[in-house]
Chain A
């Protein structure tokens, strides 16, 4: 019997049996193709043992940043590395200790390291221009702070595009008190995307031709096959909305597998990362998405995963078959693999243009087959924030409920989707209003008048299926007008302010759905199709009771905006360079509601403070540092402004970050 609190880290700098004969290996393109969906490449593994992460532990760390030539694709290219390693060394800290990190910059450019998700003083956060000047060439900067948390985190450069070229590493913080998670062995699984192209060139190409890396656009052949299947009229109708909007329903990722090679702990898929386990062990896998631009969907065929932590914070365990991990997020899962078996840790990119793999086995000679990638996702109308059936009213919390504001009287429905983004031109043919489930609404003295349905046209619709009967009105719980209760999310009306109109913004979601119970584009049908339970944010509840139980005293609604065609990104239509800082009052409890007015999924990261995701249980609000905002949707979290200083707040997709960025000042 293993002790509940026993931790046996496998990852070590020395002596790992996997580590001994690491050598340089070059893969040709043909080898790569041949290995796409066949069993694990035994030969490659046999010849070249996978690279595992190097670990540094203690209280004082010396890190040096250099350029180094690497070879992941058969061609060599220049990477930015820490201590000559890609990924950078895994840092193992202990909660409660004060760590000192001396970071020497040997580049001919400014550099920096940001400790992602770590709560620390503003001048230690490592974002150039924000209470820190960056590290000049040749200089050493000494970071020092007391570690106040435990769990899985990571670090990366916050200068230029250094993160894309390799400057990222894992952080594991062992708790000061016994770990509530029971496990015998743990591995960090660090996912990343590598390109031989210089990041500046990738960015420039996107500005010159936004779909440069997209080789999944609709073709004439698709059109004919759709006509065959659905008839000309239906095909035309389905296409016309997108064509009219000059948008592509195949626009999933800006940068794809056409230039990226996806890495697991620094291993390309041809090589694979390998981890061992022994009989009866519970294995904790600490997933970190340290990609620049790639959201991954992760599963381990044949194993249930118990998700025990999100962004380093323990959660009430959720058993899933699959989860999506946004750029910069971390998830810890516990698995119980059976001995004499091998399991494939399979992480496919959100757009299914590539994947990376690991082999988890009780016997180094056993290899799990690599599954094929799932079908390519296609965006739906709801991802434009304009599908009525996608409106999730089921968990609404309405403060000060006045239903009379909901004017459905002029709606007309009859069989389809909305023909335009402007609701005044909406016409639904054969639409399905009964699918709007109002039955679980909780009305707390809210206000429905923000929902303007008055110009919708519904033809031949059947309203009788709308079940309002179980609504619970509880005006007594009313909070500040327009604000919903802590834990339930925003009731405020979605407002597109003036700055959202102009050449810099190509779309506004008028009916954003809730992003809480949506597994996300490309995962929505996995339950029905593959019988896989996919994690949603709605499943996440903190393990510990909510730390700050105050109601929010105000709400900030931020719209994630962009122009895909011009490749411009912004918040509320205003890019970082032109934006005034967001000001938080020291000590206040506030809500941030993010509305995604684009068709991309954006991982939003607030530095210095927790983002407490409102997943519907006010008593166990989970804490995150990075929150995925689904296309055409909205999501809310609470923030306690308990850290004075200047903080960065941005989309963690590296090529969105320059524009989709805000400075937060807490005074």
Chain B
């Protein structure tokens, strides 16, 4: 409940700073804009594989935005996953934004809520970086670091390698998460931008569970490593 209030407060203070600029002589320099990005929407080639997605949206101005980030996977098994983050994002450097807000992990159950502080931006050599620290109930902590790179084969054919690592401060036996480095994933997607806003792709995804998390998985009789070939599309507007 407190968090909801906090969020409402955040929204109010945002809207206060986001007073619209006057249309004066040459158009509005900093109009209120929104961008919705479906970064990944994909299905594994194997019928057993889940449908996965990762999407983001922002609303705001040049230097201050509200962000929503969500990702998840859907399958017939009980291995479903869904998390949503709502963040306030403010620019701190030409290529970097600081973001803070909340994250809720709806699936798998039981759900977990976290406070988030992160940085997102473009590192030298054009690496897209998203790094976040999560602080949850019962003094849970977690960290996620992801990096992505766009390699242009042609102007429209783009290869995107990406890596993500997750760390947790302590064991969460109910969710099968162990402390320390819990998992590493890497993906490689080759997309073709029919137009900038729409690009189908093929790719491969590799995930490895590590440490205690891998132990939990083994005790449940699950694989600690999986590789999937995927087909999907990317879209934004």
Contact = CB atoms under 8 A, between A and B. Distances in A.
Interface of A: 127-130, 158-161, 200, 203-205, 207-209, 212, 215-221, 240, 243-246, 502-506, 563, 565-569, 575-577, 648, 650, 654, 657-659, 661
Given A208-B35, A503-B91, A218 B62 contact: no
B70 to A, nearest CB: 19
A650 B26 CA distance: 9
Contacts of B28: 658
Interface string B121-151: 0111110000000000000000000000001
B152 A217 contact: yes
Nearest to A507: B94
A221 B154 contact: yes
Nearest to A503: B91
A577 B63 contact: no
Decide if the interface of chain A is mainly helix, strand, loop or mixed. loop
A243 B159 CA distance: 17
Nearest to B58: A208
B194 interface: no
Contacts of A658: 26-30
A217 B22 CA distance: 35
Interface residues of B, number: 35
Nearest to A212: B196
B126 A577 contact: no
Contacts of B96: 503
Interface-centre pick from B21, B23, B94, B124 (highest chain A CB count, 10 A): B94
B30 to A, nearest CB: 7
B95 interface: yes
A528 to B, nearest CB: 30
Interface of B: 21-31, 33, 35, 62-63, 91-96, 122-126, 151-156, 159, 196, 236
Nearest to A244: B124
A243 B124 contact: yes
A160 B31 CA distance: 12
Nearest to A209: B196
Contacts, number: 112
Contact of A576 (B24, B33, B94): B24
A122 to B, nearest CB: 13
Nearest to A164: B27
B201 to A, nearest CB: 17
B25 A565 contact: no
Contacts of B94: 502-506, 563, 565-566
Contact of A221 (B27, B93, B124, B153): B153
A577 B28 CA distance: 9
Contacts of B152: 217-220
Nearest to B96: A503
A665 to B, nearest CB: 14
Contact of B155 (A129, A219, A650): A219
Contacts of A158: 25-26
Contacts of B154: 219, 221
A127 B122 CA distance: 38
Contact of A244 (B92, B125, B156, B236): B125
